[in-house]
Amino acid sequence: MHSMLLIPVSDPADPRLEAYTAIREKDLTRGHGARFIVEGKVTLETLLTRSRFAVESLFLAESRLGPLAELLAQVPEDAPVYAAPQDVMDRIAGFPMHRGVLACGLKGDVPVPAAFLQQAPPSPLLLLSGLSNHDNVGACFRNAAAFGAGAVLLDAQCCDPLYRKAIRVSSGASLTLPFAHGGTGAEMVTAVKAAGYEVWAMTPRADGAPLRELSIPPRLAILLGAEGPGLPDDLIAACTPVRIPMSEGFDSINVATAGAIALSHVFGLSG
């Protein structure tokens, strides 16, 4: 077992903690750049033990060092662990960090869907188009991991799945599940179809085929659109429209819930 590189911090202006300064403001301005921030024990454990991303550093409240001792043994030797009194940590982060657990990871190169599909990830795939809500993106990743999706593909209109809140809502799934991000929804669908996948476009439209009546193809991708507007007509037309039957007079559910139902149906019949 290696020795942890523990560095006590007492100055809120310590430049070594720049990545953790005013976290909420950076979230709003995409100020983390090539980095991302995780918070809380659950996502820290995922980052340290199951994530494919490199760990740059940790920042903990001093009171958390003892309770997290076993987990901290997993910190890479070259990743410093900064520790500060709770009030100093709160001042650096810009809001009360009641969990007292932050870490900084490195995004590396995130491929666009067309390049990513050269790896032929296992079916099913979850495709997201135009999802700008971090809670929904995080929930979609959590559902994708729970129901055996091979990867998640997002167009450029989707928010970053490595945004701090999206990671937390995903229960760390966005740190472990392969994903690609970029391009237009049309480009994503074209690339997925060219790679041999059938694409089901989830829609409340009456002309959509009922989910439970469809046979599951060998390679399947499930496409979800944003809450409210849903998928644009051209994307639906390029795919197989699929609907989830609902009670009369009610035709829509949360996008992450729709994805969970579709993925669960496929998982149950193919697994």
The owner of tokens 């190169």 is 109
Where does a domain end: 106, 132, 158? 106
pLDDT for position 47: 97
Residue 248 placed within a domain: yes
Residue 32 pLDDT > 70: no
Residue 266 placed within a domain: yes
Note whether 142 and 92 are same-domain residues.
no
pLDDT for position 106: 95
More confident residue, 43 or 96: 43
Note whether 56 and 73 are same-domain residues.
yes
Domain containing residue 216: 113-270
Note whether 123 and 83 are same-domain residues.
no
Note whether 99 and 219 are same-domain residues.
no
What single-letter amino acid sits at 176?
A: T
Note whether 154 and 88 are same-domain residues.
no
What single-letter amino acid sits at 30?
A: R
Cα of 133 vs its chain's centroid, Å: 11
Between the CA atoms of 201, 207, 211 and 213, what dihedral angle is there, to the nearest 10 degrees? -130
What is the gyration radius of the CA atoms in the chain, in angstroms? 20
pLDDT for position 10: 95
Least confident interval from 9-13, 31-35, 38-42, 45-49: 31-35
Residue 40 placed within a domain: yes
Residue range 242-263, pLDDT digits in tens: 999 988 877 678 999 999 999 9
Residue 1 placed within a domain: no
**Number of structural domains found in the chain:** 2
Note whether 139 and 173 are same-domain residues.
yes
Residue 156 placed within a domain: yes
C-alpha 89/C-alpha 95 separation (Å) is 9
More confident residue, 143 or 247: 143
SS3 of 34, please?
A: coil
Residue 225 placed within a domain: yes
The owner of tokens 């559902």 is 143
The owner of tokens 């969970």 is 260
Note whether 87 and 214 are same-domain residues.
no
Residue range 80-90, pLDDT digits in tens: 999 999 999 99
pLDDT for position 30: 64
Q: Report the CATH number at residue 44.
A: 3.30.1330.30
Note whether 92 and 120 are same-domain residues.
no
pTM: 0.92
Residue 271 pLDDT > 50: no
What single-letter amino acid sits at 167?
A: I
Give how far Cα 115 sits from Cα of 109, 118, 126, 153, 188, Å: 12, 6, 16, 11, 10
Where does a domain end: 64, 88, 106? 106
Where does a domain end: 79, 106, 133? 106
Q: Report the CATH number at residue 192.
A: 3.40.1280.10
Note whether 118 and 220 are same-domain residues.
yes
β-partners of residue 82 are 7, 59
Note whether 174 and 246 are same-domain residues.
yes
pLDDT band at 1 (very low <50, low <70, confident <90, very high): very low
Residue 21 placed within a domain: yes
C-alpha 39/C-alpha 31 separation (Å) is 17
Residue 128 pLDDT > 60: yes
pLDDT for position 2: 56
C-alpha 216/C-alpha 269 separation (Å) is 8
**In the chain, pLDDT over 70 holds for what percent of residues?**
94
Residue range 188-241, pLDDT digits in tens: 999 999 999 999 999 988 889 999 999 999 999 999 999 877 899 999 999 999
pLDDT band at 28 (very low <50, low <70, confident <90, very high): low
Residue 241 placed within a domain: yes
Note whether 118 and 71 are same-domain residues.
no
Note whether 101 and 120 are same-domain residues.
no
